[in-house]
Structure 1
Amino acid sequence: MNDRPYHHGDLRRAILTAALDAITADGPSGLSLRDLARRAGVSHAAPAHHFRDRTGLLTAIAAEGFGLLAATIKEAADLKDAGVRYVRFAREHPAHFQVMFTPGLLRADDLELATARALATDALRTAVAHVRPEGGADDERLAGIAAWSMAHGFATLLLSHNLDDAVAGRDPEEVFRTLASMLFRSP
């Protein structure tokens, strides 16, 4: 009888899911492939077979996250809706969100990550394109930075519980929508 764990099905997905659960609970800093193998019920070598190392695993999580974010924002009706969707994404995918924006954890030259990041950036640019600042292209770029900063900052503060008192039981997406209405007016 073999006492080694056996896994059938999508081992890559099982390891990603275990990693997302671990990151949600403890953050990415304590993530270990050996612990993930134990959580997923597979041999300690299985995660390395799929991701090579911890950086490869975190890069795969970030690439998946940027893909999910791009798909979410692509459906936005306008800039406010894109911001709300950004905040919703962060709330629904906190582990992805945390890893995506910690470049020191990732392989910067990974093609899958670069492609997914570009798709998310394009979706955000499309949402911002509806805002017409006075100064032309340079101001459009700055408007994009301002919109992203607002959505990202709000999401980050929300996830770190720094807005618990300010939001005080209200729907965070509605709070963000109100803030966005104060600062960005659609044509």
Structure 2
Amino acid sequence: MPERSYHHGNLRSALLERAWDVVDSGGVEGLSLRSIARDLEVSHGASARHFRDRQALLDALAVEGFARLNAALEESADAEETFAGRLEAAGQAYISFAVAHPGILGVMYTAKHHPEASAELAEASHAGMSGLIALVEAGQAAGEAREGDAAQLALIAFAAVHGVAMLSTDDLLDGVGPEDAARAVLGFLTEGLRTSSTTPITG
């Protein structure tokens, strides 16, 4: 069978998209450069010109995952006007992404800790937390969020949301749907971060 031809740059995008689909449907264990090159009907040599090995592919896949997640978080938060509304929307977006793409999320957090993780991945992986800190700081400036270290408050919020996401993907919510669990946790979280909670959290 003749190989498909791709314009410069298109093959890299096609390889990433195919890798995303493979991990989404069957997990990272079934991912290899040779298999996705075969799926796209190109040679392994052609794929190797874009990704030197499987780890480089995973790094790029993690970058793509963080890019999509960060865009979803930003879009969701920007659609709301209040601090509580923005925090809840961002939390729901994170949990929705985790439930829809558990394999991808696993790749994202595993790849970011790999010794050969790229600078691009490091930057992408920190963008979400930076955005969350900025969200808390904006809430504090508007008088809608309690006083305290914004970075620590953001970490508490992330821990709560990520916990719901992991419980959901591991099916450990005893029949409670992820949306209901997220609503309950986020409601408790936003209430705790309101200015009516008078005790500041400090490091």
TM, length-normalised to structure 1: 0.81
Residue matched to 1:150: 160
Report the counterpart of residue 102 of structure 2 in structure 1: 94
2:128, 2:116 → 1: CA distance? Answer: 16
Q: How many Å separate the matches in 2 of 1:33 and 1:105?
A: 21
Offset from partner CA, 1:139-187 (integer Å, 9 cap, x none): x3332222111111211222232336122xxxx3343122211233244
- 1:173 alignment partner AA: E
Instruction: Name the structure 1 match of 2:189.
Output: 183
| Contact 2:22-2:31 at 8 Å conserved across structures | yes
Give the corresponding residue for 1:55. 55
Counterpart CA distance in 2 for 1:105 and 1:41 is 32
Gaps of 5+ in 2: 81-85, 196-203
Name the residue aligned to 1:8. Answer: 6
- Supply the distance in 1 between the matched residues of 2:30 and 2:174 (Cα, whole angstroms): 26
Match of residue 88, structure 2, among 69, 80, 95: 80
TM-score by length of 2: 0.75
In the alignment, structure 1 residue 141 sits paired with structure 2 residue 151: yes
Deviation at 1:100, TM superposition (A): 0.8
Any conservation in 1 of the 2:15–2:36 contact (CA below 8 Å)?
A: yes
> Is the CA contact 1:128–1:147 (under 8 Å) kept in the aligned structure 2?
no
Q: Does 1:125 align with 2:123?
A: no
Measured at CA, do residues 45 and 162 of structure 1 come closer, stay the same or move farther in structure 2, by a change above 3 Å? farther
Residue 86 of structure 1 deviates from its aligned partner by: 0.9
What is the aligned partner in structure 1 of residue 198 from structure 2?
A: none
Partner of 1:28: 28
Question: Structure 1, unaligned stretches of length 5 or more?
Answer: none
Contact 2:92–2:182 at 8 Å: present in 1 too? yes
Looking at structure 2, the residues matched to 127 and 173 of structure 1 have their Cα atoms a distance apart, in angstroms, of 22
- Give the percent of matched residue pairs that are identical in Structure 1 and Structure 2: 37
Residue-pair matches, total: 178
Q: What residue identity is the alignment partner of 2:104? A: H
Contact 1:63 1:100 in 2 (8 A): yes
Is contact 1:55-1:105 (8 Å) kept? Answer: no
Cα drift, residue 104 of structure 1: 7.0
